[in-house]
Amino acid sequence: MRTFATISDTPKGSCSDTGCDPGIVLPERKLNEECGVFGIAGHGAMAADVTRLALVTMQHRGPESAGIVTTDGIGGMYHHRGMGLVEKAVKPQHLAPLRAGSNAVGHVRYSTTGSSSLANAQPLVFSFARGNLALAHNGNLTNAATIRAELEATGAIFQTTSDTEVVAHLVARSPEPDMTDAIRGALTDVEGGFALVLLADDRLVACRDRHGLRPLVLGRMPDGAWCVASESCALDVIGATFERDVEPGELLVLEPDGSLVLSRFAEAAEQRALCTFEHIYFARPDSDVDGHNVHTVRKRFGRLLAEVAPVDADVVVGVPDSSVSAATGYSEASGIPNEMGLVKNRYIGRTFLEPSPELRTNGVRMKLNAVRGVVGGQRVVLIDDSLVRGTTSMRIVRMLREAGAAEVHVRIACPPVKHPCFFGIDMSTYDELAAAHSTVEELREHIGADSLAFLDEPVMMRAFDEVGDVPARGHCNACFTGKYPVEVELTASKLGLERGLVGVS
Amino acid sequence: MRTFATISDTPKGSCSDTGCDPGIVLPERKLNEECGVFGIAGHGAMAADVTRLALVTMQHRGPESAGIVTTDGIGGMYHHRGMGLVEKAVKPQHLAPLRAGSNAVGHVRYSTTGSSSLANAQPLVFSFARGNLALAHNGNLTNAATIRAELEATGAIFQTTSDTEVVAHLVARSPEPDMTDAIRGALTDVEGGFALVLLADDRLVACRDRHGLRPLVLGRMPDGAWCVASESCALDVIGATFERDVEPGELLVLEPDGSLVLSRFAEAAEQRALCTFEHIYFARPDSDVDGHNVHTVRKRFGRLLAEVAPVDADVVVGVPDSSVSAATGYSEASGIPNEMGLVKNRYIGRTFLEPSPELRTNGVRMKLNAVRGVVGGQRVVLIDDSLVRGTTSMRIVRMLREAGAAEVHVRIACPPVKHPCFFGIDMSTYDELAAAHSTVEELREHIGADSLAFLDEPVMMRAFDEVGDVPARGHCNACFTGKYPVEVELTASKLGLERGLVGVS
Amino acid sequence: MRTFATISDTPKGSCSDTGCDPGIVLPERKLNEECGVFGIAGHGAMAADVTRLALVTMQHRGPESAGIVTTDGIGGMYHHRGMGLVEKAVKPQHLAPLRAGSNAVGHVRYSTTGSSSLANAQPLVFSFARGNLALAHNGNLTNAATIRAELEATGAIFQTTSDTEVVAHLVARSPEPDMTDAIRGALTDVEGGFALVLLADDRLVACRDRHGLRPLVLGRMPDGAWCVASESCALDVIGATFERDVEPGELLVLEPDGSLVLSRFAEAAEQRALCTFEHIYFARPDSDVDGHNVHTVRKRFGRLLAEVAPVDADVVVGVPDSSVSAATGYSEASGIPNEMGLVKNRYIGRTFLEPSPELRTNGVRMKLNAVRGVVGGQRVVLIDDSLVRGTTSMRIVRMLREAGAAEVHVRIACPPVKHPCFFGIDMSTYDELAAAHSTVEELREHIGADSLAFLDEPVMMRAFDEVGDVPARGHCNACFTGKYPVEVELTASKLGLERGLVGVS
Amino acid sequence: MRTFATISDTPKGSCSDTGCDPGIVLPERKLNEECGVFGIAGHGAMAADVTRLALVTMQHRGPESAGIVTTDGIGGMYHHRGMGLVEKAVKPQHLAPLRAGSNAVGHVRYSTTGSSSLANAQPLVFSFARGNLALAHNGNLTNAATIRAELEATGAIFQTTSDTEVVAHLVARSPEPDMTDAIRGALTDVEGGFALVLLADDRLVACRDRHGLRPLVLGRMPDGAWCVASESCALDVIGATFERDVEPGELLVLEPDGSLVLSRFAEAAEQRALCTFEHIYFARPDSDVDGHNVHTVRKRFGRLLAEVAPVDADVVVGVPDSSVSAATGYSEASGIPNEMGLVKNRYIGRTFLEPSPELRTNGVRMKLNAVRGVVGGQRVVLIDDSLVRGTTSMRIVRMLREAGAAEVHVRIACPPVKHPCFFGIDMSTYDELAAAHSTVEELREHIGADSLAFLDEPVMMRAFDEVGDVPARGHCNACFTGKYPVEVELTASKLGLERGLVGVS
C-alpha cells in the first residue's frame, strides 16, 4: 500500500515556495471551501484583468492558490498560478503577458482532494494533439479514482493528485473530431458534483453537473462578452449583467465572437440537488444562488429558528462573520436585542502563528473575544450557522461564560451534520462529525450550553420557499439526511483519491 | 525654508524595506488611528510574549509599524521593531532575545506626525547618562515644536521626526537625581493629549495627559504583574484583570517586584476631555473606555439617531464594519429591519493594488458591494459612524442607488466634524473637513442622499449617560464644537512638527 | 501556427514567483550550462541532505531551479522544487519531509529547452500504473519532438515543455513487466546527448547516452550506498569515493540494499563523443571528467597556446574566473608574468539591475574592471577560454585599452565556435556564432585586438593526451568542426521542441 | 554593569528585517572589513545613482548594510538605508526620491563597533539647530567612549551604539557659527583612525585622520563635480579621474558649485601610519592606496616570500581569492608552477545555512575543495595572505593532506599578527590572535604544516618601496609590532564602546 507524506510537515512560518509570506491575514473558516471558477470569452486585452477581479471577489471560496490562463485563439496559451490569496498569487504585473489572450479562465482553490501544493493549483494546463487545454474545477468527481486507474492501465501518466486531471485525459483520448464533442464525451464518464470551465485554444466551455450540486452562473459584459462564475457577486463586481443560473447537465460554449452555443452533456437529474451549504455558509451574502439571495435566506433561517426554538433571553449574539445575518433574523423575530457580544480581531488569519504554549488559551481570545460589558449577567442566545466538529462552539460557550454570561443558549441555523460530504466540502469522514454519534442532548452537554437547538431540515427548506422569487428547486441535504443524490464509490473514493504524488513545488 | 520629501514616492507594490509584503490584507480605515501602547513589569520570560499578544489585540490602533522593547532590570535592553502588522513586524522568532527581559513596553503605530518610516517606529530607544530609556506614545504633543527648537538651540540632535523624541531629551537634561522625578519633570513641560509608557532600566512608568484625551487602562496579571494598555480589550485577551482607567495627570510606576507606586505629574484639568472619537470610531467594540463599553455606546448612538432623525423606510443598512452597532440600535429603536445591504470583501486591504484604470470603478465595488436582492426597490436608511471628507459616503450612496435602492437616507452617528484635531487624529486641516464649509443641506446634496441627519452633540453625549455604570465624565468634542481643551500653538504645530528628517530606513 | 509568450515579459526586479529575491548574486556565465544531476540509493535519512550538498557543489551547472525527490521504497514519494539557487530553492527546512525517503534524485537546471518556469523545474515527477517515477535529466533529446507528436496522437497529454517528459510517457506505455526493462525500452527510442537519473518506487536507474556526450560518474559512500553525479567534485564534497565514469550506453540500477546491477540499454557508439566544452568551460576545475582533471587540461590549453601562438608581450591577463587556469599555463610556458589585470566584482550577479542609462557604460566596469596600474603602458596577452558571440571579448579589449594597455593580443584556449550545438549547450543557431561567418582576421578587427589566435582542434586535443592517466577517448567537437556524432532532426528540433505551454507557475 | 544581547540570537535563515533574503551569496571573509565611504557634490540628479555605483564597487568593504543620503542644498535631506548588499539594501527604485538632491554621501558597513542592526546602518542622519547633518564613517574613534560619557553627563541622548554619533553631538554643540568650523572643531576632539564624510545642507565635508590610518581618495567627474571615496577602484567605475589621496589631517569642503576648499583640522602626525592590512587583505586588487597598487604589492609580497622562505616543492597553491596575487608572485620567483589546488564554490556565502551535523565536515569542503588531481602526491607550497586565528589554515592544510598532498608548506604573505587593532579591524583582543601566544613552530604544529614561514615586517615593507612610483610613506604595523600610532584608552574603548542599545529594528 502506498503512503504519502502530508504537507503539514512544512515548517510553519517559514518562507513558502511562492514567496516569503509571513502570515497572510484572512478570516478563518470553519469548513474548507471548494473553489471558485470563472471564465470569459472574447473580451480582448481586458480578459485577464476582469478574471482577476472576479477571482478577488470569490476569494472566500479559495484562499489557498489562484491562477489565470488566457488564450489568444490561435494556439498561444498564457498562464500564471501562485499560492495564497489572489492579491499575492496573481499580481498586476503577472497579468502583462496574459493580456495577449482575450479568452480567459480563472480559479481560486481550497483543496479538497489532492495535496496543497503549487503543482495542484488550478487552472491545470495541458498540451495534447488537439492543442492546449486549461481546466478550472469546483467540486469533486466521485469516480475519479476508478477512471484514473483505467487510464493508467493504458499508459497514462499523471502529474497532479487532483481529480480534475482525469477530465483532460478523457478529452485527449476521445475519438470525437470536434473539441466540444470530445469534452461532452469526457463529461459523460465522470460523476459527482462539479462546475467546470475548460479553455481550449478557440473556445471556452462551461458546465455544471447534472444534479446541480455546485453553483454556476452566466453573465454578460456590457461589450457583449459572455462569462461564467461560481457566484453572482463576481458578476456584480466586474460590471456584468446576471443572465441566469447554468442548468444542471448543461454545456455552454462561449465563443470569442460573442456567440453562445447551448447544449447538454447529460440530462438533468430528476431531482435537482444544489448543495445547501452554499446558502448556509459558503457563498457571499450578496450572491444569489439558484434564485435565492444568500443573506436573505440566512436571515430567514434566523427568523425560523426563533419560531421553532424560542428562548427566554436578554441578548442575541451571532458568531461573526458567518452568523450575523441569522442573528439579525432571530433578533427581529424574537424581539430580543441583537448585540455584539463577540468581537473578532480582523487582523488575524489562518496562518497566524500560535503564541507560545503558555499563552495558547489567550490565543483563542486573540481571534475572538467575548464582550463582558455586553454579555455580563445576561442570558445569551448564541447563533451559529452550523455545527460540524463542535470544537468552536464549545470554546465560544466557555468564553461567554468566562465573560459573565448567566446562560448560553445555542441556536444553530441548520440541522445537525450527521453524514460526510463527497462533493467538495471538507467534512468527509464520520469521525469528524460531532452529530454523527451524539444526540442533541449529548451535544449540548459537550459544548456546555444551557440549551441547544437546530433547524429541522423541512423547516430550513421553508426559508427558500419564503424568500426570493422562486421556491426551493431541490437541494442536496445529504450531510443532514444521508440521502446522497449520487451513488458514491465510498471505498474507492476515500482510498483512491489520495493516491498520487505529494510534494511542495 | 526647509522642505522634505514625502515617502509616498516609494514605489507602491514594490518590496518595502521590511520585507516583501505583497499585500497585507487588512480592513481599510476612514481615519488614521493614533497608536496603541502597552507596558508590563515583572512578568518574567513571558513579558515579551504577552506584549505581542496585547499589540495584536490593539492592531486596529496602528497597522503601520510595531515594536517591543524589554529590559532585564540591570541595564540590558532588547528591542525589535518592524513595519506592518504585528504578525509580520514582530514575529515569534524575533521574541527570542527579548525574553531576556521581564519588563516590556510595546507599541503599534499609525503615524500622525513624523514620516512613515522604520526610523520613526516606536518604542523609541535612547541611551543617556542614566542608562537606557524606551518610549511608547499615543497622541500628540502640541508644543513639541517649540520645545524641540529650544533643545536644538542648546546642542540637542534629533534622529526622528516624532514629537515623542522631545520627552527623551527633557528626561536626559533633567537635574533630578531620581529617574521617576526626571520623567515627572519632563512631563510638566509638554502639552497635548497623550498616553505614554516609558521603560527605564529598572522601572516602567505610565501616564496619561492631564485632560485624559487619550485612553489608558491599568490591569493586573494573575501572577500579580501590573500592566497598562490603551484599551481594555488587550487586558481581556492577555488574561489580565481590568483594574481601572488611569486618571488624567496620573503617573504610575510599575516595579518589577509587583509594587505599584501612584503619584501625579500634574493636576487633572478641571474639565476632563476624553476624545469622543474613541467611542465613535477608534476603539474596539469590546473595549470599555473610561467606564463605557464601546459597542453599547455605539448602539445607543443608533437608538438616539432613530429618535431624533426618524425616517419612513424599509431597511436599515450599516456601513461595515464600524457602523454595525449603530445600525442595530437604529433598527431596534425604529422597528425597521436591519439588513446586510453592503457586503465587504474581507480579503482586500489597504495595500491592495488598484486594478487597471478601465476597471477602477469596479475596484470600489471590489471592496464593498451593495446587495441588489436586499436594497433593490427599497427605501434605505444608511447608517455611518461619522462623516469626515464625505467621499466614502458619496460613493456608497451612489452604489446603493445603482443596486436599485428607491431612496437613500443617510444617518450619521455623531455630529458634523467641523474642526481639525491636534491631539492625534488624522484630520488636521479645515480643508479636508467637508462639514467645515458646508451646511447639512449642502452636504446632503454633495453625497447625493435623499436626506441626511447627524446626532447633535448634546444628544450624542446622552448616550454615555444612558449606558454603563457611570455618566459621561467630560469629553473632547472639539472637532464638532471647536472648543479645544488645550490652547494649541496652531502655526507652530502645523509648521514645526513636520520639521525633521524624512527617509525610509 | 501556435505561438508562445516568453517569460522575459515578467517585470525584472519584481518579486518572482518563488519568493522575493532582490538580487541573487552569482557569477555571470557566458554560455548557459545544461544542468546537473545526482542520485543516491539506500542512504537512509541522510539521502536528501547528501543530495542537497551535491547539488550545491554542482550549482555552476544550473542556477535557475533546483529540486530533490526521495522515495521510501514502498510507494511514498516526496519532492520539493524551487526557482533559483539551491540555497534558496531547497532550504534545509524543506528537507524535513524528504528525509522519509532513503533513495533520492536531485537536479539543478539551466534551461536549454522548455521555458524557464517552476513547472519545468526538475526532477519531474509522475504517477502511473507502475507507481511513481521521478526524472532528472542533463542534455537534449534530439528526437523528442517526433516522439511527442506520436505520443499525443494516441492521447498523451503533456504538462511541461521539457523534452524529458517523453521518457516518462515511453516508460508508462512500455509493455515490459519489469520497471528496469521498461526504462531500457524507453531509452532505446530516444536520441541525443544525455545523462539521466530515474527514481522509481523501489530502485534508482542511471544512464548515459551511447555517445557519452554528457558526463556522469559513479561513486560510493562510506556506508556502501551507491551514487551517481554529473561531476566528480560532487563526490568529493559529499565524502564519496569516485569509482569510475559511467560508460556510454550503460544502464545502472542502484538498489536500496547496496547492490549495483550493471547492464546496457544500447551499444556504445563506435566513436565516443564527450562534449569538449565540459573541459573548456562548464565543469568545475576540481572535477575529473572521463579521466582528465579539468584545471589541468585548461592549464595545458594555455601552455599549448603559448607554443602555437606566442607573442612578444609584457603581461598575461586571464579573464576571471574561467580563464585563470589557461592564463597560468600561458604564463609559465611563455615566461611572461601573469598579472591580475582584470578584477571582477564578486558581489554582482546575473540579476543585478542595470543602473540608469546614463551610467550604463559604467555598469560594465562595475562587473569587471581593468587595472590601470597593471596594464597601463603594457603589451597585454589576454587569455579567454572561448569566443562565442564576441561581445564580451570586444568589451574587455576596449576596457584594457582605456586602462592604458599599449597592445592587446587575444588568445583563445579553444578553436573558433562555428556550428550550433544540439546536445544541451545554449548556442543553437548559426546566427549567434561570431566565428560562423567571419575569418579570424575579421574577428580580430571586430573585437579590436592587435592580434587574435585560437587553438586548433588537433592541438587542443593534444592537451588531453598530455595530461592525466589516460589519452583522450573521443570528444564531440561538432561546434568547432561541424561533425555531429548524432544525426539531428534539425527542423523538427528547432520548431518542435519549443511547442507546448508557456507560463510562470 | 550593563550587559547587552547580541544579535546573533536572531534566528538564522529567518526573514531578516529588511526583507526575506534566503541567502545572499557572497564571498566569505576572514577578517571583518571596516566600511567604505563615498561623497559627491554638485552632480545634479545623478548624484544618488553615482553614489550607488561607487558603493557597489566598494561592496567588499562592507556587506552588512548600505545607505545613501542626498541633499538639495536648501534643507531637504533624503535618505535610504537597508541591511545586506547594496544590490538589495538600496535598490534602483529606492533612488527615486533621492534624486532630488545633487550632493550625496554613501556608506557600506561592516560593523566593528556597535551592533549589527539597521539602527546602526550609516550614513547616520541628524537634525539640529543648524539644519541637517549626515555622516558616513570608516574607522574607529578610540576616545569615543570618553567623549560619549562627557556628552551624556550634560544631557545628550544617543540612539545608536556607533562611535560616529559623538561627532554629530560635538558639531551640534559647537559655538562656531560656520558649519565647516564647527566640524573642524569637533574633529579636533576625536582620536583614532578614520575617514569621514559629512553632508550638511549646503556642503560636503571630507577628512582623514591625522595619521592617515584609513584611506580616502579625491576624484573628479567629467562634469567637474568633486568626489571622495575610500578606494580608487570606485573612481574608475564611476568614470571619475583619480586626483590624489586625501592627506592625513586634511579637511576638504566640496561645494555644490564645483569649488573645492582645502584646509586642515589637524597637523599631520609626524609619522604617517596607513594600515598595512589595506594592501594585505582589505582593498580591491585594482585599487591604488597611497600610491601603491594593491595587486602589485601583493604579488611582490609573494616574490619576497619566495626569496626569504624558499622551499623545495612541486606546486604553489594560493588560497582563493585573497592570496591569488601572492601565489603568482611566489611561483614566478621560485619557478614552481602555480596550480589551482583549491577550488572555491562561488555560489556559497556568508549566510549559507550549514548542513545537518552529520554533514558538517562536508560543509567545509562545500565552500573550498582541494583538487586531488592537482595536489595528489605533490609537495605543496600553500600561500595565504595572513594568519589571524589559524583555524582556516588548519582546515586547509588538513584538506590538502586528505587530497593526497605529500607535503604542505605554508607561506604567509605578512608577519604574524600578534597585537589587537583598535582602528577599525575586527581583531581586537589578544585572545583571538593565534600568534600572540605561540612561536612560529607552535603555530606550524597547530595548523599541521610541514613548514611555516612569514614575511618579516622589514621585508614586507620592501614591497612598497620596490613597486609603484613612490616609496612607502609610513604604515601602521601595530598588529605585527605592537607599536600603536595613537595612544589607546584600552580599558575604556574595550568596555565603553560596547555600551549602548542593542536591537534589531
Residue C313 sits in a domain whose CATH number is 3.40.50.2020
Query: Any idea which of A462-471, C413-422, D97-106 has the lowest mean pLDDT?
Result: A462-471
How much is the mean pLDDT over chain D?
Answer: 85
Instruction: For residue D288, give the C-alpha cell.
Output: 591604488
> Three cell numbers at C254?
542502484
Q: Are residues D315 and D219 in the same domain?
A: no
Residue B102 confidence (pLDDT): 95
Q: Quote the cell numbers at residue D40.
A: 559627491
Name the least confident of B25-34, B402-411, C15-24, D142-151: C15-24
Does the pLDDT of residue C223 top 60, yes or no? Answer: yes
What tens digit of pLDDT does each residue of B5-32 get? 222 222 222 222 322 222 223 334 445 4
Assess whether B307 and B238 both reside in one domain.
no
CB pairs under 8 A between C and D: 226
- Considering only the beta carbons, identify the residue of A72, A125, A159 that sits closest to C503: A125
- pLDDT greater at residue A325 or residue A83: A325
Indicate whether D133 and D210 sit together in one domain. yes
Cα-trace Rg, chain D: 23
Between chains, do C22 and B14 touch, taking CB under 8 Å as contact?
no
Q: Which residues of A touch D15 (CB under 8 A)?
A: 15, 20, 22
H/E stretch holding B302 reads: helix B294-308
Query: Do C179 and C309 share a structural domain?
Result: no
Question: Which pLDDT band holds residue A423 (cuts at 50, 70, 90)?
Answer: confident
Q: Give the whole-angstrom CA distance, residue B269 versus residue B286.
A: 28
pLDDT class of D488 with cuts at 50, 70, 90: low
Identity of the residue in A13, A340, A363 whose CB atom sits nearest the CB atom of B295:
A340
CA distance D480 to B385: 74
List helix spans (H) across B77-231.
86-89, 92-98, 144-153, 165-173, 179-189
C335 assigned to some structural domain:
yes
Q: B66-75, B470-479, D2-11, D200-209: which has the minimum mean pLDDT?
A: D2-11
Mean pLDDT of A45-67: 93
Domain boundary among B222, B239, B273: B273
Amino acid making up residue B261: V
A361 neighbors A256 (Cβ within 8 angstroms) = no
Kindly give the pairing relationship between strand A103-109 and strand A124-128. unpaired
Residues C172 and C312 in one domain: no
Residues A451 and A320 in one domain: yes
Residue C428 predicted with pLDDT over 80:
no
- Answer yes or no: do B325 and B415 share one domain: yes
The residue assigned the cell 554542482 is C58
Alpha helices (H) along A195-262 = 232-238
- Chain B residues lying within 8 Å of A284, measured CB to CB: 343
> Within this chain, do residues A332 and A268 fall inside the same structural domain, yes or no?
no
Chain C: closest CA distance from residue A481 (Å): 37
The residues, ordered by sequence, that sit 6+ positions from D103 with a Cβ below 8 Å of its Cβ are D39, D40, D41, D42, D43, D47, D70, D71, D73, D199, D203, D204, D254, D256
Question: Predicted confidence band at A358 (pLDDT cuts at 50, 70, 90)?
Answer: low
Is residue D28 in a domain?
Answer: no
Distance CA B53, CA B64 (A): 17
Bridge pairing between strands B292-293 and B368-370: unpaired
Contacts of A333 (CB under 8 A, 6+ apart): A302, A303, A306, A307
CA distance B374 to A33: 25
Q: Which of B294-308, C13-27, C347-361, D210-224 has the lowest mean pLDDT?
A: C13-27
What confidence tens digit (pLDDT) does each residue in A160-172 have? 878 889 999 999 9
Task: Using CA coordinates, name the residue in chain C closest to D342.
Answer: C286
Is residue A481, in this structure, part of any structural domain at all?
Answer: no
Number of domains in chain B: 2
In a domain, A496, yes or no: no
Cβ separation A346–B346 shorter than 8 A:
yes
Here the CATH number for the domain that contains residue D217 is 3.60.20.10
pLDDT by residue (tens digit) across B426-469? 776 777 788 988 999 999 999 999 999 999 999 999 999 998 77
In-domain check, residue C184: yes
Q: Give the side-chain half-sphere CA count within 13 A for C450.
A: 15
Chain A residues with CB inside 8 Å of C20's CB?
19-20
pLDDT recorded at residue A361? 62
Mean pLDDT of A306-312: 97
Can you give the pLDDT at residue B356?
A: 63
C286–D369 CB contact, under 8 Å: yes
Hey, what amino acid is at A263?
S
Domain that holds residue A98: 35-273
Type and span of the H or E element at A178: none
- As a 3-state breakdown, chain C gives helix, strand, coil percent values, each rounded to 5, of 35, 25, 45
CB-based contacts of D170, cutoff 8 Å, min separation 6: D147, D151, D185, D186, D189, D190
Identified catalytic residue from A20, A35, A275, A414 = A35
Quickly state the pLDDT bin for A27 (edges 50, 70, 90): very low
The reply to whether B29 falls in a domain is: no
Same domain, D154 and D231: yes
Residue A63 and residue A24 in contact, taking contact as beta carbons nearer than 8 Å: yes
pLDDT tens per residue across span B166-213: 999 999 999 999 999 999 999 999 999 999 999 999 999 999 999 999
Q: Per the domain annotation, does B294 fall within a domain? A: no
**Model confidence over C463-503: pLDDT tens digits?**
999 987 788 889 999 999 999 987 765 443 343 333 333 33
Q: What pLDDT is attached to residue B505? A: 34
- Return d(Cα A438, Cα C441) in angstroms, integer: 92
Cβ separation C15–B19 shorter than 8 A = no
Among C3, C128, C500, the residue with its CB nearest the CB of A157 is C128
Q: Residue B501: is its pLDDT beyond 60? A: no
- Of A463-477, D133-147, D190-204, D259-273, least confident by mean pLDDT is A463-477
Q: Is the pLDDT of residue D296 over 50?
A: yes
Name which of C321, C345, C356 is nearest D59 (Cβ-Cβ).
Answer: C345
Can you give the pTM of this predicted structure? 0.85
Helix (H, G, I), strand (E, B) or coil at B340: coil
| A429 has pLDDT over 80 | no
Identify the sign of the CA torsion C207, C209, C210, C211.
negative
pLDDT in tens, B335-364: 999 999 999 988 876 555 556 666 666 667
Reported as a single tens digit per residue, the pLDDT across C361-384 is 666 778 889 998 899 999 999 999
DSSP 3-state assignment of D344?
A: strand
Task: Answer whether residue C222 is part of any domain.
Answer: yes
**pLDDT confidence band for A116 (50 / 70 / 90):** very low
Cβ contacts (< 8 Å) between A403 and chain B: which residues? 236
| Chain pair A-C, CB pairs under 8 angstroms | 200
Q: Which residues of B touch A56 (CB under 8 A)?
A: 345, 347-348, 366
pLDDT digits (tens, 9 = 90+) for D34-78: 799 999 999 999 999 999 999 999 999 988 899 999 998 887 889
**Do A71 and A177 share a structural domain?**
yes
**Sign, CA torsion A89/A93/A98/A102:** positive
**pLDDT value at position C423?**
82
Do D258 and D334 lie in one domain? The reply is no
Determine the Cα–Cα distance for residues B25 and B350; give it in Å rounded to an integer.
Answer: 7
Position D160 scores a pLDDT of: 82
D35 catalytic residue (yes or no): yes
Choosing from D15, D20, D35, D207, the catalytic residue is D35
D229 and D327 both lie in a single domain: no
Q: Which of B231-240, D91-100, D214-223, D342-351 has the lowest mean pLDDT?
A: D342-351
